[in-house]
Chain A
Amino acid sequence: MIDNWTFGRKIASGFALALVLLIAIGAVSYRSFAKLATTAEWVTHTHQVLEHISGLYGQLKDAETGQRGYVITGDEAFLEPYQTGSASVANVLKELRQLTADNPNQQKRLDAAEPLIAAKLAELKETIDLRRKGDLDATVKIVKGGEGKRYMDQLRRTLDEMDNEERGLLAQRAEEAETATHSAQSVIIFGTLLCVLLVTAAGILITRSLTRQIGSSVGQIQSSSTELQAAANQQATATKEQATAMSEIGTTISELLATSRQIAESAQRVAQIAGQTAAAARTGDATVATAHDSISNIRKQVDLIVNHMLELGKKSQQIGAVLDIVAELAEQTNILAINATIEAAGASEAGKRFAVVADEIRKLADRVAGSTKEIRGLIEEVRSSVNTTIMTTEGGSKSVDAGARQFSEVAAAFADIAGLVGTTTEAAREIELSTKQQATAVEQVNVAITSAAQATKETEASSGQTLQTAVELSSLSRTLLRIVHPQTASVT
């Protein structure tokens, strides 16, 4: 249960226990000493009473001594004890009555002694007066009468009774004082021993509990300080890296700033070039329109060429037909010549001459046939070329059509280009403006990064201090642990 108490509660409990014990011992001791003091006062009181009894008796004896001396000598000088004693008796008696006011027995004895004292003093005064008058005989007579001696004997007995009672009270009170002294000593000794035992036990208990608690806490502090040290190390490292990164960021931001300015300049140039491009696109649009007209003229010319070529193809076919006739004629001529040669072979000498002519005709027919073949080949080539030209021209015509369409598309594209270039110009201007704003923002970022770098440096310094503090805290925790658990601390 005590382990759950707080540090202050444990210490307060220890001190409270010690305080309670001190108060108890003090109270008991005070009571004992008060009783002892009372007893001592009563002893002193008894001694005073005894002194006054003895003094009263002594005063009376002095007064009697002076009376006797004067009576005997008649010298006034002997009256000095009488005068002193008789004068003090009343005060002593008064004080004695006050001192014994609490004792009825003594008051009764004083009541009994008081007339005797008065009678004695009167007897003394009478004798002195008689002596002073010179009547020695009467004086001696009175003395010899023994009245005074009886008074003194009665007084002596009364005072002895009072003295005995006081001495009995003195013995009783001395015994009470001794008892009170023993009681006070016992209270002091045993109370102190008990206090020592209880305080020691409480101290051991509290010390163990606090040692355990503080040791555990110090252990935790040491562990935490070690972790704090490691964390501070990491923080210091991270802060250094952060500082390096911030420096790199600063450099990058500077480069970014320069790049932004370059972009702004480039955007400005782009805007200028876009404006020039827009003007060129408008000029190109007009050029394209002119080219479109030219292509339309080309298209008409190509159509004319195609028509001419088709006509040429027809003419070539006609030539081919004529050539077929010529070739057939040549072939028939050749056949006729051969047959004439055959017929001539069976004829006479005139037939032979006919054979010569027939052979010439055959040769001519052969050559015509060969030439016809050659011309046919050429015609075929011409027709092929015409066909190729027509196809090419038609292809060209189609290309021209496509070109015309493409020119229309180009014109539309130029219009689009002009529009897009206008948009591009606007966008380039917006880019220029945005880039300038971006450059301004980057400058602000650069300033912020510089501040952040400064803060990082300060953080780095703070991390160093934190690390130093962590090291000191770790050392302090070890010291505390060494104080709380020397053996544990020496092991660790």
Chain B
Amino acid sequence: MSTSETRTDADRIHAVAAALRRSFDDGFAAPAISMNESQEGMLAIRVGTDPYALLLSDIMGLYSDVRIIAVPSRVPQFKGIVGLRGMMAPVYDLAALMHYPPAPSTRWMVLAGGARPVGFAFESFEAHLRVPAASAQNGADVREEGGATRQYTRGSVRAAGALRAIIRMDAVMKLMGENTT
């Protein structure tokens, strides 16, 4: 590495730090803005090798690196139980529920289910998205290779560089129920 390249990299780091500082300062200086009703919050995740989107309105929270206690079960998608904020919740492998091969490691987990929350662990969390509500509601269904629609998705949205099928948590919960009964 030459001296000029080292200097250029240091300048870039200083520039990034300055931009962050300025943005942080601007955050306090800018006027308060309200949430735009017409935008929908989503999480961009990846199950197996496919990109998917989760509506923030369908989940209760996002967690990482939670400690899952393995419990013996006849359900192969069941990974164990987790303790969060003084309550217990079962955790299922989202990829296995969606008929993907079980993920080797599941660092991320979302909590859903309302009064009886259930955790769904998955491998990769990519980004938090805010997309127009219209595009979230009017996106076409993503079909299987044979032409059949996926029963646990509804619609799609193009975000974070990919066309993402929107996972219906109620359908996933139904799949979970079918698998556990």
Q: Which residue of B lies closest to A358 (CB)?
A: B35
A138 within 8 Å of B (CB atoms): no
B20 within 8 Å of A (CB atoms): yes
Q: Which residue of B lies closest to A365 (CB)?
A: B128
Q: Which residue of A lies closest to B30 (CB)?
A: A360
Give CA–CA (A332, B32) in the complex, Å.
24
Q: Which residue of B lies closest to A369 (CB)?
A: B127
B1 with A352: CB separation less than 8 A: no
B62 with A378: CB separation less than 8 A: no
Q: Chain B contacts of A366 at CB under 8 A?
A: 127-128
- Mark B47-61 against chain A: 1 for CB-CB distance below 8 A, else 0: 000000000110111
Q: Chain A contacts of B35 at CB under 8 A?
A: 352, 355-356, 359
B32 with A339: CB separation less than 8 A: no
B64 with A335: CB separation less than 8 A: yes
8 Å CB interface, A246-303 against B: none
- Mark A331-366 against chain B: 1 for CB-CB distance below 8 A, else 0: 110110111011101000000110110011010101
8 Å CB interface, B20-36 against A: 20, 23-24, 27, 32-35
B62 with A339: CB separation less than 8 A: yes
Give CA–CA (A371, B20) in the complex, Å.
8
- Mark A368-391 against chain B: 1 for CB-CB distance below 8 A, else 0: 100100110010011001101100
Beyond A331-B64, A356-B35, whether A378 also contacts B43 by CB under 8 A is: no
Q: Chain B contacts of A362 at CB under 8 A?
A: 128
B1 with A385: CB separation less than 8 A: yes
Q: Which residue of B lies closest to A387 (CB)?
A: B1
Give CA–CA (A374, B19) in the complex, Å.
13
Nearest-neighbour CB distance to chain B for A39, whole angstroms, equals: 166
A353 with B23: CB separation less than 8 A: no
| A: interface residue count bin | 20 to 34
Give CA–CA (A338, B61) in the complex, Å.
8
Q: Chain A contacts of B24 at CB under 8 A?
A: 364
B34 with A342: CB separation less than 8 A: no
Give CA–CA (A371, B43) in the complex, Å.
20
A339 with B61: CB separation less than 8 A: yes
Q: Which residue of B lies closest to A332 (CB)?
A: B64
B56 is contacted by which of A342, A352, A356 (Cβ under 8 Å)? A342
A157 within 8 Å of B (CB atoms): no
A182 within 8 Å of B (CB atoms): no
A212 within 8 Å of B (CB atoms): no
B181 within 8 Å of A (CB atoms): no
A367 within 8 Å of B (CB atoms): yes
B6 within 8 Å of A (CB atoms): yes
Q: Chain B contacts of A334 at CB under 8 A?
A: 128
Q: Chain A contacts of B16 at CB under 8 A?
A: 371, 374-375
Give CA–CA (A80, B24) in the complex, Å.
229
A335 is contacted by which of B1, B20, B23, B62 (Cβ under 8 Å)? B62
Give CA–CA (A353, B61) in the complex, Å.
19
Give CA–CA (A338, B55) in the complex, Å.
12
B9 with A342: CB separation less than 8 A: no
| B: interface residue count bin | 20 to 34
Q: Which residue of B lies closest to A337 (CB)?
A: B128
Beyond A353-B34, A378-B13, whether A360 also contacts B27 by CB under 8 A is: yes
Nearest-neighbour CB distance to chain B for A316, whole angstroms, equals: 12
Give CA–CA (A364, B27) in the complex, Å.
9
A356 is contacted by which of B5, B34, B57 (Cβ under 8 Å)? B34
Give CA–CA (A366, B61) in the complex, Å.
17
Beyond A334-B128, A378-B13, whether A368 also contacts B34 by CB under 8 A is: no
Q: Which residue of A lies closest to B33 (CB)?
A: A356
B9 is contacted by which of A355, A356, A382 (Cβ under 8 Å)? A382
Give CA–CA (A385, B17) in the complex, Å.
22
Give CA–CA (A371, B14) in the complex, Å.
11
Q: Chain B contacts of A360 at CB under 8 A?
A: 27
A342 with B23: CB separation less than 8 A: no
Give CA–CA (A359, B33) in the complex, Å.
11
Q: Which residue of A lies closest to B2 (CB)?
A: A385
B60 is contacted by which of A342, A356, A359 (Cβ under 8 Å)? A342
Q: Which residue of B lies closest to A371 (CB)?
A: B16
Q: Chain B contacts of A341 at CB under 8 A?
A: 41, 56, 128
B1 with A388: CB separation less than 8 A: yes
Beyond A335-B64, A356-B34, whether A367 also contacts B23 by CB under 8 A is: yes
Closest 10 A-B residue pairs measured CB to CB?
A385-B1, A339-B61, A371-B16, A338-B62, A378-B9, A352-B35, A355-B35, A335-B62, A360-B27, A338-B128
Binding site for B on A (CB under 8 A): 331-332, 334-335, 337-339, 341-343, 345, 352-353, 355-356, 359-360, 362, 364, 366-368, 371, 374-375, 378, 381-382, 385-386, 388-389
A-B contact pairs, 20 of them (CB 8 A): A335-B64, A338-B128, A341-B41, A341-B56, A342-B56, A342-B60, A345-B57, A356-B33, A356-B35, A362-B128, A367-B20, A367-B23, A368-B20, A371-B17, A371-B19, A371-B20, A375-B16, A378-B12, A381-B9, A385-B6
20 additional A-B pairs beyond A341-B128, A371-B16, A378-B9, beta carbons within 8 Å, are A334-B128, A335-B63, A338-B61, A338-B62, A339-B61, A339-B62, A341-B56, A342-B59, A345-B41, A352-B34, A352-B35, A353-B32, A355-B35, A356-B32, A356-B35, A359-B35, A375-B16, A378-B13, A381-B1, A385-B5
